[in-house]
Structure 1
């Protein structure tokens, strides 16, 4: 038997240990290849798919993320496998095998698994790339489906990249074994374990860090960009000490509860759990952080996808709009013709808005003087435009006062302080105004230089506009359609009916809707792939950790059976221990994500809990399914059960 045959036999005999690593690696290769096959697709490279440039950049960034993540994942898996085989390598050394021969054996094993992962991953990528192209083609609204292709650049990049990755990780593992002494290898699995002890100070630090991070995430919205890094640091540090210190303190507390501790098999389960969690603290910490990243990123992407329509409507409340410069000037676009064209296509008007105003310089809180302009309108016009809009309450403004209306919701960010003073100058006359604060969410489409609306009392508005020449006044026309998403083609036909020289003046929400929906859908599609990759890898880490301790656990359970413990009782203990290892990261990750969702809700001023709950529920179901598969494989390898 040569070394290649021996390596193949070892892989076959220990396949239960390698299967999660193999599947995770193959899935990483598959996703990487599919992304690359679109980036290097001939139609994309030659520019035949016009809207593909943004997708191409996003997929390229995801490829870099996959490679970096795969590097650390493969590194972790390599050392996890090495730990289970140190005794085996020690025995091989005693039988006369040199360290170079052991390293050669490891090289063959690791590269066989790596090559198999690359081959299966590329094969699966080719198999599913057509479906991937169909999905992207549908989202990009291409005239014809993207044809199937196997770009040589994508193939070469995938093979060379992951081959170099597996080779580098193999060299790391070989160096680790090469430096170990025979006695250390033989005793690796028999190192005595000290009873886990928790530091009260570090336990308190865990509570403080998590509490502080959660408090900042729950309350902040104004300074989120400044506080983001401190929140992440506090949460990650608190999570680390939660598993390394606080978990031991909690288990010690459970052991002091005699009614619970001495009930049936709880004595064995809790005692072993103290060592299990302590030994697996770093793995649980990493998986919990990864779970939080997956849930936060997936929830944010899903909120963005589901809320894209609402944000678009808030920014552009009217389906069709245009402005006319000057009163009594020769009309550009005829609003009656627009209404007639809509009626001819069977579209019903939900609301029609006509507002006359004037642009005035306006200083926002914290900005330079006169660096922005606002459209000055009357209180009555604002209230008419706000009719039927949920977030826009009617305004009542006293003489000498004004309200600033901003089309974007920004949480607690203040652009116009209540009680602040502003001055409006029109045709040489000055009007001092006391600001009554700001309202957010648009009531008309703001397209030109105006950043918002300056709403004043009706009487004051009449006095101001009386000083403005007619040629400086702006007339706004807005039309909101009933069920506007069903009339995309109708709006396009209406826009084409307008003379070409006037078409640029006409704004339609549907034109923005198409690109917005496309962008959000593509982001969701790419995010799902990457999030699922992270999930598979994080769950596989728990799988590796369980199977590295399989032989030791088998000896312990056989000893328990010799003193009279039944197989169902042992199975109950195993279910509790494995279940907690898979459950704890979900609970901790979900808690982190929940506070991240709260920060997002504060920032966007929207309700994200229904979306966040759905994402967490899906993640929990997937994790439970992985737990069932792992438990089945674990039970199947236990010789005593």
Structure 2
């Protein structure tokens, strides 16, 4: 019998054993083809306003997804090979060489790879249409996505499958050469010793996690974070990492030990599942710790990008509150630009206003008035309170100010939240206007923009005007003293988000007349921000689901391996009269004890950080809590599905004859 015939016979005879491994490979191909085909779909590319950036983003995300696919399939193959050690040992005993065994395994990989390639591409093509429509909906584009199988995506998927086949073959070769023949037959006989449990180390796990949680809940305004930020960060990181590891290495073992000392330990099936778990705590501690920490990081990432997407529409409007705004270039150019803007039939003008401001020179650093001062122009603009109030009323915003004397409000847009000062604590901000010098008292820093970021159709945002609102008396006094007065023309137009072409025309005229003149357009940023945040959300969610599925699968495959090793023990239990329902109940409790702690700790780690730091920065968006709840619910469902599947497969394995 040739190696090829032996390979095909093995696949047919043991197809049930190959099912889990085959499904893992099909899942990897489906994921890769689904995502990579989005990069080559003409329907999607034609709708994109920044297709080059989109393709680059998808390419980077595809590389990250490919790494997780490799990890997932290699782990599945490792599980698959461990299940076949006895079979491989028999082949070697019968005289087959290691190279022949390796070739046989390579043929099996190619056969399974071919099946997974065809199946994965067909399923991936269907899913790519659905995901493409979802992406278009996220970007708010009314674009139909057709069912297609881009040849470029097929080519990259074939290359990926071949690469996986080669990597798996190398893994199989290493595994078969690294283990001695006698070990292949005794692979299942090795029994792990339970670790030594210390009540003090179990208590230390609780203290470390409690210390980290306490610092997180205290928030950024607490004494430790304000005065010792780096130390606080180090304590939180050390507490969560070390506390999580000790939780799985010592605290869970201590809990199991306490259960064994209970008077009711021998009642029901408690003895069966606790004794089995005690022998697994040493080997599973590192895996469960890594899964917990990485899962928490993934939930944080997904929640952050989901929040970023949900506030992007509002944030873009806050960053660029004016549809088109530019600095006066003289009566001739201003008239030309006015005619150009009003001649647009697709974007008719709905409102026009002129804003007058005084440009001054600061007498001190800008940091006292503007947070992240490097993003602002170095020469502030003064606007009178009455003009500011008129703009507020027109926009319908609730950002009124009431000033007197030399009081001023800094429009420090981009802060997490606005802040007000009492008269005694208000920072002094000296300014110079011509020969006049005055010291303003900054009574408030507002997260608000009167003039938005300067923008460019190609490079998006550049700098923000630094605007100070002062009393009408201060403003008029400086104006009459020969201050440098600037005028800004502000237009509101219909469908401003899609006015890229009009913006490019106006921008060209402005920069031709004065390259340093201020120009701002909502459309210059809107499409880039929405497309970028949509792709980031789509990619992060896709990656997070794959990563969580991969990490949960580590637990899944570990439990199936343990099920194979415990077949004989469960066979003995059946022979001495333990009923089937008691065995199933034991398996459920045993696996719940393995699946639940990473789930609970991962959710707890991430929720505390999200609640204390992210939600605090985006107050006023009520729907964000629902987004985070949805993210965590998806995380829970993935683990629950794998837990349920593991219980069913575990039960079937232990009920087979060893």
Question: After TM superposition, is the score higher than 0.5?
Answer: yes
Q: Counterpart in 2 of 1:358?
A: 358
State whether residues 8 and 108 of structure 2, in contact with CA within 8 Å, keep that contact through their aligned partners in structure 1.
yes
Distance 2:333 2:172 in 1: 80
- Specify which of 476, 481, 489 is matched with residue 462 of structure 1: 476
State the match for 1:79 in structure 2.
78
Q: Deviations over 1:2-41 (max 9, x none)?
A: 3334334444555555434433332332333344445456
Which structure 1 segments of 5+ residues have no match? Answer: none
User: In structure 1, what is the equivalent of residue 556 of structure 2?
Assistant: 543
Counting only pairs closer than 5 Å after superposition, residues 2-17 of structure 1 correspond to structure 2 as: 2-12=2-12, 14-17=14-17
Cα distance in 2 between the residues matched to 1:437 and 1:26: 59
Q: 2: distance between equivalents of 1:369 and 1:625?
A: 48
Q: Is residue 17–residue 544 contact of structure 1 (8 Å, CA) maintained in 2?
A: no
- Given that 2:378 and 2:466 are in contact with CA atoms closer than 8 Å, whether structure 1 keeps it comes out as no
Q: CA deviation at 1:312?
A: 1.9
Check 1:374–1:601 CA distance in 2 against 1; reply closer, same or farther (3 A cut).
farther
1:307 lines up with 2:311 in the alignment: yes
After superposition, the Cα gap between the structure-2 partners of 1:11 and 1:288, relative to the gap in structure 1 and judged at 3 Å, is: farther
Partner of residue 288, structure 2 = 284
Q: Counterpart in 2 of 1:622?
A: 638
Tell me by how many angstroms 1:57 deviates: 0.4
Matches within 5 A, 1:94-493: 94-131=93-130, 139=139, 141=141, 148=148, 150-152=150-152, 154-199=153-198, 203=202, 206-207=205-206, 210-211=209-210, 213-214=212-213, 217-218=216-217, 219-220=219-220, 235-258=240-263, 261-318=265-322, 320-323=323-326, 325=328, 332=335, 355-362=355-362, 363-365=365-367, 372-387=378-393, 393-410=399-416, 419-447=426-454, 450-469=464-483, 472-475=485-488, 477=490
1:69 aligns with 2:83: no
CA contact (8 A) 1:392 1:441 kept: no
Kept after mapping to 2: 8 A contact 1:42/1:151 = no
Name the residue aligned to 1:533. 546
CA distance in 2: counterparts of 1:131 and 1:368, whole angstroms: 43
- Per the TM alignment, residue 309 of structure 1 is displaced from its structure 2 partner at its CA by 1.6
Distance in 2, matches of 1:543 and 1:299, equals 25
Tell me, in whole angstroms, the C-alpha distance in 1 between the residues paired with 2:414 and 2:71: 40
Listed one character per residue, the Cα deviations across residues 356-392 of structure 1 (whole Å, up to 9, x for unaligned) are 3223344322868996233212334444544598985
Q: Quick check: 2:497–2:522 contact (8 Å CA) kept in 1?
A: no
Aligned-partner SS, 2:379: strand
Shift in CA distance, 147/382, structure 1 to aligned 2, threshold 3 Å: same
Partner of residue 29, structure 1? 29
Query: What is the distance in 1 between the residues matched to 2:288 and 2:28?
Result: 22
- C-alpha RMSD over aligned residues: 4.6
Indicate the SS of the match to 2:360: strand
Structure 2 spans left out of the alignment, 5+ residues = 456-462, 513-517
Task: Return the alpha-carbon distance in structure 1 between the equivalents of residues 571 and 489 of structure 2.
Answer: 83
Contact 1:220 1:602 in 2 (8 A): no
CA deviation string 1:498-556 (max 9, x = no partner): 99968998855356434433333233333333223223322332321122122233322
1:219-261 Cα distance to aligned partner (Å, 9 max, x none): 34999999889866764444333322332123223434445x4
- Name the SS for the 1:422 alignment partner: strand
